[in-house]
Amino acid sequence: MSISSHDSSVQTFDLQALVRPNIRSIKPYSSARSEFTGTAEIFLDANENAFGSPPHEVRIERQQALHRYPDPLQKAVKSRLAALKHVTVEQLFLGNGSDEVIDLLIRGFCEPGQDEILITPPTYGMYEVSADIQNARVLRVPLLLCDGQYILDTDAVLRAVTPRTKLVFLCSPGNPTGALLDAASVHRIVQGFHGIVVLDEAYIDFVPQATFVPLVQSYPNLVVMQTLSKAWGLAALRLGILVASPDIVRVLNSIKPPYNINALTQEYVLHALRHPQWKEKIVRSTVLERERLRKALSESSMHELIENVYPSDANFLLVKIRAPHNPRAVYAALMRAGIIVRDRSTVPLCERCLRITVGTEQENTRLLEVLQVEVLQAQQGIVLS
């Protein structure tokens, strides 16, 4: 008997009926890179380290080991990280990027259709995407914009949480705000909230003295996330770090994919972590360039086009374009010149804003040159729209 698609015994296949209802309507994360198509030379859109990666020492000499699975608990990497961060190996969890850590936290703690996370927008997009996938509700308590500074609405956060709120996500320094959160406010939330506070410190290497890692000892409900993707210049390796109590680490270990950190990443990270002084040098260069860029963008010659450059403790600047000029037009002009930045102008509380990653000296100079040309046009009364 031949099998034909007209055979009445063949069930019709309805994909949409199989997909979970909340997945059908999911709004996927849109990365800086996926929003851009074309060719560009200067990438100031994803907050990567423009200066490169720590010195390479890894040649795949141990290729013979690739037929074996990697260490599921990444003991060698963790013991080096533990020494660098003054924590114990049992307090560390590693993810395939912080993005996997976020996803596992939500899957481990939020019952689908019942539990909630709380976020403080404008903030990193993956908290909400992972919550949507898990079908966890998302409570939003926006940051306050006070005298040009983004601050936590601490009282509103503590009022908004319910017995169903399992995780509160805070980001410090914030993305896209660039601002460190007030430490006293973070303490108040950790003390006043019955669930877990996830403090995302993806940019903490630019303000290392502000880290909350030492406080994980005193607060059993505080977890701190860091990453090798930003200051360390290793975004392609995908390594996210969580510091938490051994009990929380055990929960995450019990649900993670067994071999979530591949062998080449473990090998490479082990070598890279031998060069913390390389990272520190890059951080110093980045901060110097950030302040040079801020000064240049804040000069009176830029006033026609730029209304405000927000304070930043990270490796990017949030820049507000002055009306009537359209931030999208400035974005497009930069793109025509081969420079990609991140358009945040449609994000609530970031209206008219572009987020610009600090590049190398040469890249930043080029950015300033292109913006100067736009300023000249604007000064001739041409509205960039």
Ligand X SMILES: *Cc1c(COP(=O)(O)O)cnc(C)c1O
CB 315 within 8 A of CB 231: yes
Of the ranges 12-20, 95-103, 180-188, 215-223, which one interacts with ligand X (CB under 6 A)? 95-103
Sketch the per residue contact string, 118 through 147, with ligand X: x for CB under 6 A, - otherwise: ------x-----------------------
Q: Is 136 helix (H, G, I), strand (E, B) or coil?
A: coil
Cα–Cα distance for residue pair 237/240, rounded to 1 Å: 10
- For ligand X, the closer CB: 154 or 175: 175
Of 304, 264, 298, 275, which is closest to residue 96 (Cα–Cα)?
264
Scanning residues 164 to 183, which ones bind ligand X (CB under 6 A)? 171, 175
- Site for ligand X contains 219 (CB under 6 A): no
Task: Using DSSP bridges, classify how beta strands 92-95 and 144-146 pair: parallel, antiparallel or unpaired.
Answer: unpaired
Find the binder of ligand X among 45, 99, 115, 132 (CB under 6 A).
99
- Site for ligand X contains 357 (CB under 6 A): no
Q: What are phi and psi of 192, to 5 degrees?
A: -95, -10
Of the ranges 91-99, 188-196, 264-272, 288-296, which one interacts with ligand X (CB under 6 A)? 91-99
Sketch the per residue contact string, 10 through 49, with ligand X: x for CB under 6 A, - otherwise: -------------------------------------x--
Find the binder of ligand X among 115, 128, 200, 343 (CB under 6 A).
200
- For ligand X, the closer CB: 225 or 302: 225
- For ligand X, the closer CB: 171 or 375: 171
CA-angle at 102, arms to 96 and 103, nearest 5°: 80
As beta bridge partners, residue 165 has 116
Beta sheet of 165-171, edge-to-edge order: 92-95, 240-243, 222-227, 196-200, 165-171, 116-119, 137-140
Q: Which residue is nearest to ligand X (CB)?
A: 97
Of the ranges 3-11, 56-64, 94-102, 131-139, which one interacts with ligand X (CB under 6 A)? 94-102
Cα–Cα distance for residue pair 37/35, rounded to 1 Å: 7
What's the Cα-to-Cα distance from 283 to each of 205, 231, 237, 368, rounded to whole Å? 7, 6, 19, 21
- For ligand X, the closer CB: 236 or 382: 236
- Site for ligand X contains 233 (CB under 6 A): no
- For ligand X, the closer CB: 91 or 226: 226
CB of 175 to ligand X, least distance (A): 4
Please state whether the peptide bond connecting residue 276 to the residue before it is cis, i.e. omega within 30 degrees of 0. Answer: no
CB of 111 to ligand X, least distance (A): 24
Residue type, 287: V
CB 216 within 8 A of CB 222: yes
- Site for ligand X contains 265 (CB under 6 A): no
Binding residues (CB under 6 A) for ligand X: these are: 47, 97-99, 124, 171, 175, 200, 202, 227, 229, 235, 240
